[in-house]
Amino acid sequence: MKLKEWPSSLYQSYRLKRTHISKLIDRDVPEIDAIVSLTSIPSRLETIHITLKSVMLQDCKPKKIVLWLHEDLKNDLPKSLTDLTQGFLEIRYSKYTFSHRKLIHSVLAFPDDMIITVDDDIIYHPTTLRKLYEAAVKNPNKVTSHRGRNISFDSAGKVLPYSKWNYANKETADKNWFMPIGAFTVAYPAGVLSKQVNDVDTFMRITPKNDDPWFKVMALLNGNNSVISGYDLPEPTPISGTQKISLKKVNVDRDFNRQQMENILSEFPELRKLINTAS
């Protein structure tokens, strides 16, 4: 977390903590035809209500919010979290602990719905969901995200280090290799992903530390690209104290994103033909 983010994080966290449940339910805002899905870990259970409240206070509301937690946490949830189930939050349980839970379970549970994924350590701007949904509706056979990077390759077709994967905008997003970043919210229309998305054995073998590359490629394998929303939104605000345990540090500092992308291309060599034809 950057030093300049601390004041905003502390202020917004304080404001959301003090927001009573009565102000979160039965709000007179439009409903979007989508389900918000996320997962969390034990170290963030005391702060995830902040993220959830920021989602509940959007200028639109999803059909429901589904939070996937490990089954061992069933009897250890803080009141700040369980109170939110009075609204449109639904808590479900999984035998798994990996981050991929946020999407793979909801794709199975709600096969006919658009799923919008969010992260559990972020405070979202009130227009985030509406603008993502508006962009996604215009791209019904594509994965849509507010932010992402272009996966980059050298002249031999080898994946370059993650530091070389440049952030993309509407003009520069690569047709085939634009990869949505989950922290900025991602919309998955029904049926956009390959049914292999739920192949736990494979993704735990080749992309165990990051779900973004896996979900990106599951769309490609189904013949569907990923696009950027085109909206210029304020940066999401990290919640202070939630970054101590972070897969982002592992994936970026050790360049695991590059290695996991190479693993994917070895597993699905048919995708290599897209490298030279990407535009």
Domain CATH code at residue 39: 3.90.550.10
pLDDT, residue 241, reads 86
State how many domains the chain has: 1
pLDDT tens for 124-177 read 999 999 999 999 999 999 999 999 999 999 999 999 999 999 999 999 999 999
Residue numbers of the domain that contains 226: 3-277
pLDDT, residue 3, reads 82
| Phi, psi for 88 (deg, rounded to 5) | -105, 25
pTM, two decimals, is 0.95
